[in-house]
Amino acid sequence: MIFCAVLALAATFMSCNKNNMGDKVAGTYNGYTVASSQYFNEMVSENEKLTVKSGGGNLAEITFSSTEWGNFTIKEGEVSKVGKSYQIVGKGTCEVAVMGGGSTNTYECEIEAIVNNLQDAVFTFKVPSVMGGLTVVFTTGVPEN
C-alpha cells in the first residue's frame, strides 16, 4: 500500500516536471536582429540580448531591450513542444522611439519563437502599426557575412 502511494506520488511529480515547459526555454539568449518594414529591408543590429523567464507551467515571459528597436515585453507567451523544439507564441507590448525625437510610443506586438536551446533559437516580433509593419527577428549567434 505504501509502495502504491509512493508510485502515485512519483508519477504525479514526473508529469508536473514534464509539463513545465516554461523552464525548458528560460535563460539569456545572445544574438543579433534583422529588421524590416515598409520603409527599409534587413537592417542588422549585432550584440543583442533577450531574456526568457519561466512563467510557470506552459508560460514564459520574454523581454528584449534593444538600443536600435526599443523594448519588447511578452508577459505570457505560450510554450508548446513541436518535435524536438519548443515554440513560443504570444502578444504583448513594445516601446519604440519616435523618429526625430527622444520620446517613445507603446504599441501592441506579437511573437513567435522556435527554441532548440540557448545557442539555437529564433524570436520573431511583429509590430503591425509601426512603419507600415515592423518585423524584428532575433537570432542567436552572430550574423553571417
pLDDT grade, residue 15 (50/70/90)? very low
| Phi–psi pair at 20, nearest 5 degrees | -85, 75
Query: What range does the domain containing 7 cover?
Result: 2-140
In a domain, 25, yes or no: yes
In a domain, 145, yes or no: no
Cell of 140: 542567436
In a domain, 124, yes or no: yes
In a domain, 17, yes or no: yes
Confidence at residue 96, expressed as pLDDT on a 0 to 100 scale:
83
Output the CA–CA distances (angstroms, integers) from residue 110 to 18, 36, 75, 91, in the order listed: 26, 15, 11, 4
pLDDT at 145 over 80: no
Provide the number of structural domains found in the chain: 1
pLDDT grade, residue 18 (50/70/90)? low
pLDDT tens, residue by residue, 77-112: 999 999 999 999 999 999 987 655 567 889 999 999
**What CATH number corresponds to the domain at position 41?**
2.40.160
In a domain, 119, yes or no: yes
Query: Higher confidence at residue 119 or residue 10?
Result: 119
In a domain, 127, yes or no: yes
Question: Residues 68-85: what's their mean pLDDT?
Answer: 94
Question: Residues 58-83: what's their mean pLDDT?
Answer: 94
